[in-house]
Amino acid sequence: TGHFTYDPGFTSTASCESKITYIDGDEGVLLYRGYSIDELADKSDFPEVCYLLLNGELPTGAQKEKFLRSITYHTMVHEQLSMFFRGFRRDAHPMAVICGVVGALSAFYHDSTDINDPHQRLVASHRLIAKMPTIIAMAYKYSIGQPFMYPRNDLDYCENFLYMTFGVPCEPYKVSPILANALDKIFILHADHEQNASTSTVRLAGSSGANPFACIAAGIACLWGPAHGGANEAALNMLQQIGTPDRIPEYIAKAKDKNDPFRLMGFGHRVYKNYDPRAKVMQQTAREVLDELGVHNDPLFQVAMELEKIALSDPYFVEKKLYPNVDFYSGIILKAMGFPTTMFTPLFALARTVGWIAQWSEMIADPSQKIGRPRQLYTGATRRNYTPVGERG
């Protein structure tokens, strides 16, 4: 292979050095800046995790307060941006809308496009973390024909997002602390995952010096695919299709059939060859949310747990080390909270924005950073002569 290695899908190529997230796929371990995901999901909150990912350390009380002030300061979007939504069809997938709107942020916040100024990089990070909930709630409101709700800075990050999504101007909206807390956990679990496809996309886009909003839009576009962030939507659709536990064997057989492209959505992972530590927390959270909402014996949850049990005792899944991943249970929680399936991947994008921007900032600040430029193995035609159109056979 000449002087470079052929590594399709980058299964054995490290593209960067990073101090942000550590995964041990064989042991099922995930650490943000050295802290385990289980402990953060249990004891921390999403804004604190954002601070940790961006800055490397947990904030002191004063630092946390200052950070929250900055985030709430930036929650509104430019009024003009609301016009941007109106150019889309109302039945557009919210991911299509969000990708376009986030890409357009660079047209509104010119100051934050100066990537050589560390202060502006920080402002861009805060703007993105603050504005994503607003933009995503607006995409939802637009899709159902309801008015946009302005952010409320007296609410915390997740409460405000639930308010902007489910509140209406004519009625007071009571945010359930249990649901806000569950959402906060989902966001913590999705906040970063080292060099996955969308994060690598953000880094590659950023390596050319592109502005941070354009880079995050690139990440959103990549996340949309069903093998990546789109899996949460696909997993729930699959559970709904299966419907009842008696139909599980039929789907397991399809997943095992070499001639059938069907895969169990929410199963398997490039890096985890053990139980995804995020799926464990997610299963527990699903239980809590369903209890809080008084949904007992939710058929989808029953199908999911039974499917997990059957798959994990089947030699095909055992030998290939296929376990439930983060997206296997997240859809059940989001559906129970009232989110339509098309909003699942936008919620993933909301949470992952901090990871993307932390990775982007780390890259820009790294003096060894170069433009990303993979090589290829050319397998096309060798040199040949041009034939005029009339002489082609």
Report whether 175 contacts 181 (CB < 8 A): no
State which residue has the least CB distance to ligand CMC.
268
d(CA 238, CA 363): 37
Minimum CB distance to ligand CMC, residue 230 (Å): 8
User: Judged by CB, which is closer to ligand CMC: 98, or 322?
Assistant: 322
User: Judged by CB, which is closer to ligand CMC: 84, or 348?
Assistant: 348
Torsions phi, psi for 233 (to 5 deg):
-70, -45
Return the closest-CA partner of residue 184 out of 77, 48, 56: 48
User: Judged by CB, which is closer to ligand CMC: 81, or 265?
Assistant: 265
User: Judged by CB, which is closer to ligand CMC: 255, or 290?
Assistant: 255
Q: How far is CA 18 from CA 72, 125, 194, 215, 236, in A?
A: 29, 18, 8, 18, 33
d(CA 257, CA 249): 12
Q: Catalytic amino acids?
A: 269, 327
Cβ contacts of 159 within 8 Å, gap of 6 or more: 175, 177, 180
Cβ contacts of 168 within 8 Å, gap of 6 or more: 146, 147, 149
Run of H or E including 24: strand 21-24
Type of residue at 325: N
CB neighbours (10 Å) of residue 146?
Answer: 14
Contact footprint for ligand CMC (CB under 6 A):
9, 196, 227-229, 231, 255, 263-270, 320, 322, 325-327
Minimum CB distance to ligand CMC, residue 251 (Å): 10
Tokens 């008015």 belong to residue:
147
Minimum CB distance to ligand CMC, residue 273 (Å): 9
Minimum CB distance to ligand CMC, residue 328 (Å): 7
User: Judged by CB, which is closer to ligand CMC: 152, or 263?
Assistant: 263
User: Judged by CB, which is closer to ligand CMC: 139, or 223?
Assistant: 223
Minimum CB distance to ligand CMC, residue 237 (Å): 12
61-73 and 118-144 helices, crossing angle to 10°: 50
b/e map 327-337, b = 16+ CB within 10 Å: bbbbbbbbbbb
SS3 content of the chain, % helix, strand, coil (to 5): 60, 5, 40
Minimum CB distance to ligand CMC, residue 166 (Å): 25
